[in-house]
Amino acid sequence: MQSWMAVHARLRAAVDADPYIELRSHTIVRSVDQGADSAWVITSDQQTFRGDVVIGADGHGSVVRLGVAPDKPDATFAGYLIWLGLTNESSLASSRRLPRDVDILSGGQDYLLGYPLPGPDGSVAPGSRQVGWAWYDASHNDLLRETGSVVGNVVRRSLTSADIPEATFRELADKAKNLWPSPWREARRPRRPGRSSRECWSGTAISGSLPV
């Protein structure tokens, strides 16, 4: 398992090393289309980029989905969110060893994936790693709607830690004690970033529809 930051860094390094790949940052695609011989995208500054194939990996606000399926332009909310977190293994009080791969746990309507990750310096030595987790939760959908993350049945954005009230952090901490065994119980102690070493929380509304 690798953190998103590590995967991104390696992909970026591969792009930078390949002379046949041109990366354009901060370029907003406004529309996509295709003809008999090619496909293309048009950017916000009216540039057109053509290719044999256009691949849309543009998330819940997909411009490609709108182009491919204009009758279904939105990402439909699937009815739950994922709490995501990351903390240092050394901050865990539990002496239980971490799994070699992924723990998949069930607690009623809740599901949890917990996994060890290399430390910030790339170390995989026990005690110096990081602990990542994803908690699938269907009991806080009201928070998504209160913050505008979900409007009606459409996913608009993800939560940040600043969107999450202190009461929700406490509620999740109590819930974790009853649902999850060590070391995941300790790894999921909800605190705002900065209150513990390299620990962060965010919440992502899950879409039930994918681009064609």
Q: What is the pLDDT of residues 183-211, one digit of tens each?
A: 888 776 544 433 332 344 556 666 543 33
Is pLDDT of 20 > 90? yes
Whether 54 contacts 41, CB under 8 Å: yes
Whether 31 contacts 42, CB under 8 Å? yes
For residues 15 and 6, the model is more confident at: 15
Compute the distance between CA of residue 35 and CA of residue 46 in angstroms, rounded to an integer. Answer: 18
**CB-neighbour burial class of residue 40 (10 A; exposed 0-12, middle 13-18, buried 19+):** middle
Pairwise CA distance, residues 156 & 76, whole Å: 10
Per-residue pLDDT reduced to its tens digit, 35-87: 999 999 999 999 999 999 999 988 878 899 898 889 988 888 888 888 888 88
Tell me which of 125 and 202 has the higher pLDDT: 125
| Residues 83 and 93 sit within 8 Å (Cβ to Cβ) | no
Contact 184, 114 (CB under 8 A): yes
Residue 138 predicted with pLDDT over 50: yes
Is the pLDDT confidence value at 173 over 70?
yes
Strongest mean pLDDT among 39-43, 82-86, 115-119, 168-172? 39-43
Nearest to residue 34, comparing CAs of 58, 5, 74, 67? 67
Q: Among candidates 126, 55, 58, 35, which has minimal Cα distance to 88?
A: 126
Residue 212 banded pLDDT, cuts 50, 70, 90: very low
Distance CA 102, CA 177 (A): 20
Q: In angstroms, what CA-CA distances link 56 with 25, 32, 128, 158?
A: 16, 9, 37, 19
The pLDDT, as a whole number, for residue 93 is 67
